[in-house]
């Protein structure tokens, strides 16, 4: 789709590269907000610019993604969940091995009971 002054991809690239917006993924939005927080030292509100360029359902989904995955990271709401994820990731191997050891122990015990030993 050609647009005066360039195609749509060029316009999107310009907005993202210039840092005047974020068009793309949740990670792109997080990176843009992080950049603004780092530049400003923090702020109390973040305003979204809405247009009628996209399908209303897609626009609503975009707002949902921002509310669910972007803003909590900057409001402190995600800190506990992210810390729990880190703890679970760092101890997963140990817990998995404990589970395998327990299954092995009980399997051996069962086999001994079945054999009358």
pLDDT digits (tens, 9 = 90+) for 4-56: 556 889 998 999 999 888 999 999 999 999 999 999 988 888 888 888 888 99
The structure tokens 């009971």 sit at: 113
The structure tokens 């969940």 sit at: 81
**pLDDT of the residue at 4:** 57
Token code pair at residue 88? 């679970």
**pLDDT of the residue at 2:** 46
**pLDDT of the residue at 117:** 67
Cβ-proximal residues to 16 (8 Å cutoff; 6+ apart), any chain: 22, 23, 24, 28, 32
The closest of 15, 46, 10 to 28, measured between CA atoms, is 15
**pLDDT of the residue at 1:** 43
* DSSP result, 102-114: HHHHHHHHHHHHH
Q: How confident is the model at residue 82 (pLDDT cuts 50, 70, 90)?
A: confident
Q: How confident is the model at residue 87 (pLDDT cuts 50, 70, 90)?
A: very high
Beta strand segments in the chain, E:
2-3, 6-7
Q: What gap in Å lies between CA 102 and CA 117, rounded to an integer?
A: 20
pLDDT digits (tens, 9 = 90+) for 65-75: 999 999 988 88
């Amino acid at each position: 789709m050609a647009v005066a002054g360039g195609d749509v991809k060029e316009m999107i690239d310009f907005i993202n590269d210039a840092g005047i917006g974020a068009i793309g993924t949740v990670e792109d939005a997080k990176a843009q907000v992080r950049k603004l927080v780092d530049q400003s030292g923090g702020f109390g509100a973040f305003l979204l610019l809405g247009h009628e360029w996209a399908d209303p359902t897609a626009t609503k989904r975009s707002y949902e993604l921002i509310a669910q995955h972007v803003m909590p990271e900057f409001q402190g709401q995600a800190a506990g969940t992210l810390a729990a994820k880190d703890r679970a990731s760092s101890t997963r191997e140990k817990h998995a091995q404990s589970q395998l050891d327990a299954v092995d122990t009980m399997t051996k015990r069962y086999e001994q009971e079945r054999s009358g030993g």
